Amino acid sequence: MSTANRILPTRLILATAIAVGMPLGAVAADEPGINAALLYHNYCSVCHGDRGDGNSRAKNSLIPPPKDFTAGPLPRDYMIAVVADGKPGTAMVGWKTQLNGKEVAAVVDYVIDTFMTGKSAFEAKPPGVSGTSAHGGREKDRDDGGGGSPSRKPVGPTSVDMSLPFPDGLVGDAAAGKAFYMGNCATCHGENGGGDGPRAYFINPVPRDFLLEGSRLVYNRPALFKAIAKGSLGTEMPAWEKVLTAQQIADVGEFVFRQFIRPEAATASSAK
């Protein structure tokens, strides 16, 4: 690549940053570099807003509304899966055809650092350094063994603890839960948990697909219990606590967990 061709992309990035009013310190100064702030602006801010609070021009047209990142931390692995693959039943599309793996991770880290900590990403590290982190830092600076900057710690867990039990000491009966699921839940979520039941095609947003990687990263037993009990506003998922006992909710949750979320755990248990 000629010197002119190497300089041109950087000039385009600088021009774009100036046009959107972005701090120039966030711009990668050399090639190759990933400007996470610019990626967020170009791909995410139209729905999630410039402040990450979901308060965008598009929010009133989207059901359910865009995620408010300032409401609290999310597992980093889950966020990466959603950015890459999208989230069924929402306007969130998958960006893996537009962004590579490092760019997806950089956008997620930018969201975590900027909106989920209450502190600007540009306050945490001197600006103007190129790389893939949300701070504009080089990837090599993120390890703590080579004399570089200390590794950045994402807010919240990288994944949900799948060993947590149901609340109040409840122990679910998967066999009993299966009978209820097949009679009441499969019409929407599908017999195989893929969100493709016979009613799914008439529902907007579409029912939860338990087989997605994003679902398997966050739906432990407590999360399933809450989702079944409380339902989901803006969807056709009802609050089953109005008609089921806590034990019955735990039974359904146990079936979903063993059958769709962690089928390998159920298989290992059967083998023992």
Closest CA to 212 of 233, 230, 190: 190
Does position 42 have pLDDT exceeding 80, yes or no?
yes
**Residue 232 contacts residue 90 (beta carbons within 8 Å):** no
Q: How many CB atoms lie within 10 A of CB 82?
A: 23
**Residue 13 contacts residue 38 (beta carbons within 8 Å):** yes
The predicted-structure confidence for 59-79, as pLDDT tens digits, reads as follows 777 778 888 898 888 889 989
Q: Of 41-45, 132-136, 199-203, 240-244, which range is least confident?
A: 132-136
Three-state DSSP at 86 gives strand
Does position 86 have pLDDT exceeding 50, yes or no?
yes
Does position 83 have pLDDT exceeding 70, yes or no?
yes
Domains and CATH numbers, the chain: 3-142 (1.10.760.10), 167-271 (1.10.760.10)
User: Is the model more confident about 211 or about 9?
Assistant: 211
- Residue that the structure tokens 């994402």 belong to: 154
The predicted-structure confidence for 153-191, as pLDDT tens digits, reads as follows 444 455 678 999 999 999 999 999 999 999 999 999 999
End-to-end Cα spacing for the chain: 60
